[in-house]
Amino acid sequence: MKKRIHYITYNDTYSGIYQSQVIDVVKHLNKNFEAKVCLVAFVPLRLWKEQRRIIKSKAPDSKVYPILGALNKTKRTSWLLSFVSGKQYAICRGPLAFIVAEHLYKSTFYDGRAAVEAEVKEYNVAGKTVYNQLFIDAENSAIRNADYFVSVSHKLVEYWEKKLGKKIPKERYSIIPCTLTSESQSSEVIPRSNNVKVVYAGGTGAWQSFEKVVGLLDELMEKQADVETLFLTKENPALTSLIEKYPSRCQRKWVKHNEVYKELASCDYGILLRDDKITNRVASPVKFAEYLNAGLKVLISPYIGDFSEFVKSNNCGLVVEGKLPKLIKVAQSDKQALKELCRQEFFKDSLLIEKEYIKLFEALKRT
């Protein structure tokens, strides 16, 4: 008999990340494992109608409910969930989803995406001071009480162990980084430049060290005339100044999610820099896999989750300490090798990731 599982999200709204890391995960589990997985999404009340329409258009079997009241009124929303839990199993994305679902299911798994207490203290992700302790307490509850863990990195497990003051047995967690859906990419590719091309794709949030990225690429273009840069991001004053300085070698675009791959594939290097903070030391940026999948070498900061060591071990980029070194164009054969590495390590249907999902379902069978 198939296990009936709810995959629960709380206060997350639809985006490219939500599609790839939530909806595509649910579809993958339903397709490849003996389980009936249903997405249960709790979204802000003011956005409920719009989000329900969008999410159900992508995942018709999903259940989309409004958060009942302020973010910290989790007991109200938990009451709503009690009508549909049915003593099934729950995989909870993030600590707020966990505390909403806790005690309502036969077994509750914690899908941990971040070091939440560190995020609150380092980057104020809670938004309002009144919510800071809510986030911290919810994370503490999740790591104390979860029946099983899904972690995006080994470093995140180490963070949990430090908070708990004890080791978490390997049979109680799966390491599943932010993965890509295994589907063929568009054959339409932008011709590659004869110059060395470096791309930055992402936002301009505090944790993304955007001004540092701009500064390093400014220095690189000044000393290396055959380097050009592409920014797949929204407008930013620091970037505007860089484009004005190098109008023929620096470009900014904002494209649709399904157009990102062909833009990346025209480049040689993807840049992924972060400040040395706990938040980043446990992280698993999906952009890392997206860069590799497009055949890019990754220019990465030290201590980003498991990825900085991965770059060293697999010779798939450079760990950047200080200024960027002289860059050379990446050969087409190397680009193909990087794509293959991504398929083996970061595709949802890769053997490596499948083993981690098998561990998860074996844990479900034991409960």
pLDDT band, residue 135 (cuts 50/70/90): very high
Asked if 64 and 85 sit in the same domain, the reply is: yes
What pLDDT score was predicted for residue 59? 98
Asked if 170 and 200 sit in the same domain, the reply is: no
Asked if 173 and 216 sit in the same domain, the reply is: no
Asked if 171 and 200 sit in the same domain, the reply is: no
Asked if 167 and 257 sit in the same domain, the reply is: no
Task: Check pLDDT > 60 for residue 336.
Answer: yes
pLDDT band, residue 1 (cuts 50/70/90): low
Asked if 36 and 170 sit in the same domain, the reply is: yes
Asked if 267 and 204 sit in the same domain, the reply is: yes
Which of residues 183 and 233 earns the better pLDDT score?
233
What pLDDT score was predicted for residue 187? 59
pLDDT band, residue 51 (cuts 50/70/90): very high
What pLDDT score was predicted for residue 316? 98
Residue 212 within a domain? yes
Question: 278, 122 in Cβ contact below 8 A?
Answer: yes
Q: How many structural domains comprise the chain?
A: 2
- Mean pLDDT along residues 142-163: 98
What pLDDT score was predicted for residue 183? 62
Asked if 8 and 150 sit in the same domain, the reply is: yes
Asked if 338 and 354 sit in the same domain, the reply is: no
What span, in angstroms and rounded, lies between the C-alpha atoms of 142 and 160? 10
* C-beta atoms surrounding 362 within 10 Å: 12
What are the tens digits of pLDDT across the range 18-28?
999 999 999 99
Task: Check pLDDT > 80 for residue 321.
Answer: yes
Question: 35, 69 in Cβ contact below 8 A?
Answer: no
pLDDT above 90 covers a percentage of the chain that reads: 80
Asked if 225 and 106 sit in the same domain, the reply is: no
Domain that holds residue 250: 196-346
The burial class, CB within 10 Å (0-12 / 13-18 / 19+), for 259 is middle
> What's the token pair of residue 345?
């390590």
Task: Name every residue whose Cβ is closer than 8 Å to that of residue 315 and which is 6 or more positions away in sequence.
Answer: none
What are the tens digits of pLDDT across the range 176-196?
999 998 765 655 678 788 999
Side-by-side strand order, sheet with 227-232: 250-253, 227-232, 196-201, 269-272, 297-300, 317-319
Chain-wide mean pLDDT for the chain?
93
What are the tens digits of pLDDT across the range 67-113?
998 998 898 999 989 888 877 899 999 999 999 999 999 999 999 99
What pLDDT score was predicted for residue 185? 64
- Mean pLDDT along residues 308-335: 96
Residue 272 within a domain? yes
Asked if 17 and 91 sit in the same domain, the reply is: yes
What are the tens digits of pLDDT across the range 338-348?
999 999 999 99
